[in-house]
């Protein structure tokens, strides 16, 4: 068996498939909003008893607001897309050749290209996302994305899915 696939990935596609970005953003937003609220209440407590030390809580609160906004922008889906654009440009072309005992992967984007040949045993699991993408996971963080539209026919897509199931993925 030898199946060929050419997948075009954009930062938008990668972010839409990676649920960790959304979960991290929501968790970070909740934690930091709570921290800002508690800091604001501490400033209000100092306002009831004015003293010369009032400037320190205000400076601390303003610094925390700045850091919270910066972190939310950095780890939001928009910030992740911006980072991906800096690393790979507007799109990345991935070519796969699925053989009986190995997979050959090559990628090319604006800034570099790479090629990798590996055995199916290097993958830990497989997930089909949005009924269009296969994500082949090396571990819980790193994975390769294979697009259904990159195959010549739907039959090849189904053949690959069946083949990968026989490899215990």
Which structural domain, as residue segments, surrounds residue 145? 2-11+89-166
Above 90 in pLDDT, residue 109?
no
Across the chain, mean pLDDT equals 83
Instruction: Flag whether the pTM goes above 0.75.
Output: no
Identify the pLDDT of residue 75.
74
Considering the domain architecture, whether residues 76 and 97 belong to the same structural domain is answered as no
Distance, in Å, from the CA atom of 134 to the CA atom of 120, rounded to the nearest integer, reads: 14
Considering the domain architecture, whether residues 54 and 106 belong to the same structural domain is answered as no
Q: What is the mean pLDDT of residues 66-83?
A: 78
Above 80 in pLDDT, residue 160?
yes
Distance, in Å, from the CA atom of 2 to the CA atom of 95, rounded to the nearest integer, reads: 13
Cα–Cα distances in angstroms (integers) from residue 7 to residues 68, 70, 128, in the given order: 37, 33, 15
| Contacts of 72 by beta carbon, 8 Å cutoff, 6+ apart | 25, 28, 29, 32
Identify the pLDDT of residue 46.
64
DSSP 131: T
Instruction: Using the 3D structure, point to which of 85, 111, 138 is the last residue of a domain.
Output: 85
Q: What is the mean pLDDT of residues 96-116?
A: 91
| Contacts of 159 by beta carbon, 8 Å cutoff, 6+ apart | 1, 3
Considering the domain architecture, whether residues 62 and 124 belong to the same structural domain is answered as no
Q: What is the mean pLDDT of residues 116-136?
A: 91
Identify the pLDDT of residue 96.
94
Considering the domain architecture, whether residues 29 and 95 belong to the same structural domain is answered as no
Considering the domain architecture, whether residues 99 and 149 belong to the same structural domain is answered as yes
Above 70 in pLDDT, residue 43?
no
How many domains, the chain?
2
24, 29, 31, 33: CA torsion to nearest 10:
170
Identify the pLDDT of residue 119.
92
41 three-class SS: helix
Return the higher-pLDDT residue of 17 and 145: 145
Distance, in Å, from the CA atom of 152 to the CA atom of 150, rounded to the nearest integer, reads: 7
Half-sphere exposure of 26 (CA within 13 A, CB side): 5
Considering the domain architecture, whether residues 70 and 109 belong to the same structural domain is answered as no
Considering the domain architecture, whether residues 66 and 129 belong to the same structural domain is answered as no
């Amino acid at each position: 068996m030898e199946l060929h696939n050419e997948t075009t990935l954009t930062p938008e596609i990668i972010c839409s498939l990676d649920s960790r970005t959304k979960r991290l953003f929501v968790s970070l937003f909740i934690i930091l909003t709570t921290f800002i609220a508690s800091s604001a209440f501490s400033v209000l407590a100092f306002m009831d008893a004015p003293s010369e030390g009032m400037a320190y809580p205000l400076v601390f609160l303003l610094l925390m607001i700045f850091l919270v906004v910066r972190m939310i922008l950095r780890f939001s889906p928009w910030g992740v897309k911006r980072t991906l654009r800096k690393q790979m440009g507007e799109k990345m072309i991935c070519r796969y050749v699925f053989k009986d005992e190995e997979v050959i992967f090559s990628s090319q984007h604006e800034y570099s290209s790479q090629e990798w040949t590996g055995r199916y045993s290097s993958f830990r699991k497989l997930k089909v996302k949005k009924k269009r993408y296969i994500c082949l996971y090396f571990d819980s963080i790193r994975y390769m994305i294979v697009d259904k539209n990159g195959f010549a026919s739907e039959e090849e897509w189904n053949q690959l899915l069946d083949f990968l199931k026989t490899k215990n993925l």
